[in-house]
A and B are shown apart, each in its own frame.
Chain A
Amino acid sequence: MISTSLDDVKKVLSENLDMEGIDLNSLKEDSPLFSGLGLDSLDAIELVIILRKNYDIVIENMDEGRNVFQTLETLRKYIEAKRKK
């Protein structure tokens, strides 16, 4: 089984997104990605690109994206589930 820890996900996000001023240690599993991390619609595109480049995962549409990008935990679970396949 491939594990993807919350810290792994936080590290990838911090390396690829502009998260200046956000303390990574303060982010919890249920931290909302957009209101919590101050991300906007362009960051949503960056998230999709990050998933493709770092994990070879393709988000097909925004409906799927909306569910995946709710919180750090929903994103982590999605990556883990896709990588198992």
Chain B
Amino acid sequence: MSQNWTGKSLGSSFFQNLLGFFIKYGGKYIAYFILYFVVIFYTLLPSVRRKASFYLKRRFPESSALELFFHTYKLNLTFGKILTDRAILGIRGESEVVSSEADKQLCRDLLAKGKGLIILTAHCGCWQAAMSSFDFLPEEKYVLYHKSREDVDKHAHELSGKKSPVKFIDPASFGGGLIETLAVLQKKAILCAMADRTFGDKVNSVEVDFLCGKIDAPFGIYRIAAAQETPIAVIFFPYKGSGKIDSVIADIFYVEDKGGRLVNNYLKEVEKFAKSLEKFTREYPYQFFNYYNMWK
């Protein structure tokens, strides 16, 4: 049975506020300690195990029911730690994004071409902290991001009360937010987009292979990159332990402008992204956070 993405947070706002309280007054290790029990509670919930199973059954197809339970626990625990770290970043300002100097220089070189930069990532690793790793670049930063009304997870800037370092463009708006996207890239800005989910109009999606199945992935962003001649960097942000986030440039490419909106003009690039994401799930099996049935 299919279960679509709803945007509803896995945890309740009560537990999130409780964790926030422990982070503020007890420090991060107290919060981690509490987290282990909170995650056990959530993993015992059939609805949570079901949401996680869509991905885990494809990532670990040979697993028994018991093994799947432990995979679910590990997945939820990593997700919990990442959310806790994001709260720590907001409340206590303790977090470190590790990017190699070579990667930083690569981003500077791409931006120097004067066409802006599109960073494609996915709902995996510490994607919510992704833009923090680009503080070394002075250009304006935008995120193509849809926040559901049922999503109670707070961003670091919401917890700290500070102004967001990035501006948001809603992909659920008409045109998938791509019109605003085109405008900001013309101003040579940096745009970060989640390329693993399609929001809004489904005409902006194409079917590609992913983890032994077919998923619909958006392709409008590649159309924009082609029209604007903007380089695309596929970057993931794996969690590397308490307060440490890595950034991994998985691929860099340009999209040839073949004109028009034909899906097949961009299929090769969407497949490239899906392959990079699949490789990420092989390296970091407990850092893929699409808790819904994204397969057809």
Residues of A bordering B, CB below 8 Å: 16, 18, 40-46, 48-49, 52-53, 58-62, 65-66
Contacts and interface: CB of A to CB of B under 8 A. Distances in A.
Contacts of A42: 175, 201, 203-204, 220, 223, 261
B132 interface: no
Contacts of A49: 182, 227
A61 B261 contact: no
B174 A41 contact: yes
Nearest to A60: B183
Interface of B is mostly: helix
A65 B174 CA distance: 10
Nearest to B227: A49
Given A45-B178, A45-B182, 18 more contacts: A16-B259, A18-B261, A41-B201, A41-B204, A42-B261, A44-B175, A44-B179, A45-B261, A48-B179, A58-B183, A59-B179, A59-B183, A60-B180, A60-B183, A61-B180, A62-B177, A65-B175, A66-B174
B276 to A, nearest CB: 24
B61 interface: no
A60 B184 CA distance: 8
A80 to B, nearest CB: 21
B20 interface: no
13 contacts: A18-B260, A18-B261, A41-B176, A45-B175, A45-B178, A45-B224, A52-B182, A59-B182, A60-B180, A60-B183, A62-B179, A62-B180, A65-B179
A61 B183 contact: yes
A60 to B, nearest CB: 5
A16 B260 contact: yes
- Ranked nearest first, the 3 interchain pairs of A and B with the lowest CB-CB distance are A41-B201, A44-B175, A41-B175
Given A42-B223, A45-B182, A62 B175 contact: yes
Contacts of B175: 41-42, 44-45, 62, 65
Contact of A61 (B179, B223, B259): B179
Given A46-B261, A58-B183, A58-B186, A40 B203 contact: yes
B174 A45 contact: no
A41 B200 contact: yes
A59 B174 CA distance: 14
Interface string B60-80: 000000000000000000000
B173 A45 contact: no
Interface in B173-197: 173-180, 182-183, 186
A48 B180 CA distance: 10
Nearest to B176: A41
Nearest to A49: B227
Choose among A53, A62, A66 the residue with the greatest number of B CB atoms under 10 Å from its CB.
Answer: A62
A52 B257 CA distance: 14
